[in-house]
Amino acid sequence: MIKVLLIFTLLFLTLNARENPFFPSEGEKDIVLTTNEDSSKPPLNKASISIPNQARILQKVTIEYKNLDGSIERKSINLDNSIDWHFPILISQNSSQPQVETKSEEKKSIVEVKKDVKPEIKVSQDRKTKALCTDNVALEYLSILVSGKTLKLTTKHESIRNFLLANPHRIVIDFKSDAEVKNYIRKNIDSIFTEIRVGNHDKFYRVVVELDGHYKYSFKKISDGYLVELK
């Protein structure tokens, strides 16, 4: 009888044993292990990214980062802000340490923490790299004033057409005139209006204004001439 019980016990234990004891049994969850990859990277101080000259509105900023377990995740923030493509977008992380004051009173050290500021990632635009300059061109038949993104043309002559050309991006303005005018070229690489050219044609003269990038523009008549505004 004892032998029979022993045989049944061995059979029962065999039925409940796992085929491979090194694999987890059913119901057990896998334990997420961190990667042994060297994660010692230099701290983020400041990084910048230049944007193309067609960009006008910043709609979203996405950050991609690596977790301890090696997985990659992304976080985004939706924006709707106007930007100037002349200036790079900056990303930086500021970690302000708490201000600590130590007071000595009766040989006891008292530490007061005034403010604790958490590390913070900032996205901003550096607007210190290029200034919008002012320039003036005075000719006998035409005066041109440049101020930022505005171009004022003072003249008594009537504009008969204006249009935009690419490669390079430039605005062309034709003025009606029977008189012959002298050709003129003015370069200013520090300005949005990088070059201004005036050339004589049959019964009109042409003003060509080269731009430093892609723009839309408005053209309107004013009391003493015409006004060009870039957008």
**Pairwise CA distance, residues 62 & 41, whole Å:** 21
For 111-120, what is the mean pLDDT?
46
| Higher pLDDT pick, 38 / 139 | 139
Q: Give the start-to-end residue ranges of the domains of the chain.
A: 43-129, 134-230
Residue 205 has what pLDDT? Answer: 96
Residue 138 has what pLDDT? Answer: 83
**Pairwise CA distance, residues 96 & 119, whole Å:** 7
Query: Is the pLDDT at 119 greater than 60, yes or no?
Result: no
pLDDT band at 114 (very low <50, low <70, confident <90, very high): very low
For 121-143, what is the mean pLDDT?
67
Strands (E), the chain: 46-49, 57-66, 72-82, 89-94, 100-105, 108-113, 120-125, 134-138, 143-147, 150-154, 159-165, 170-176, 184-187, 193-201, 204-211, 217-222, 225-230
Query: Is the pLDDT at 131 greater than 60, yes or no?
Result: no
A 10 A CB-CB count for 205 gives: 24
Burial class of residue 229, CB neighbours in 10 A (0-12, 13-18, 19+): middle
For 138-143, what is the mean pLDDT?
89
In 40-134, which residue ranges form alpha helices assigned H by DSSP? none
Residue 168 has what pLDDT? Answer: 92
Distances (CA, A) of 203 to 29, 76, 157, 199: 87, 58, 11, 12
Residue 124 has what pLDDT? Answer: 65
pLDDT band at 110 (very low <50, low <70, confident <90, very high): very low
Check if the beta carbon of residue 174 is closer than 8 Å to that of residue 204.
yes
pLDDT band at 82 (very low <50, low <70, confident <90, very high): very high
**Pairwise CA distance, residues 225 & 35, whole Å:** 70
* 171-197: pLDDT as tens digits: 999 999 988 888 999 998 788 999 999
Residue with tokens 């044609």: 201
Determine what percent of the chain is predicted with pLDDT higher than 90: 50
Query: Is the pLDDT at 204 greater than 80, yes or no?
Result: yes
Least confident span in 34-38, 121-125, 185-189, 198-202: 34-38
Residue 108 has what pLDDT? Answer: 43
Residue 107 has what pLDDT? Answer: 41
* 23-51: pLDDT as tens digits: 555 555 554 555 555 668 888 888 999 99
Report the mean per-residue pLDDT for the chain. Answer: 79
Residue 179 has what pLDDT? Answer: 86
Query: Is the pLDDT at 134 greater than 70, yes or no?
Result: no
CATH class of 134-230: mainly beta
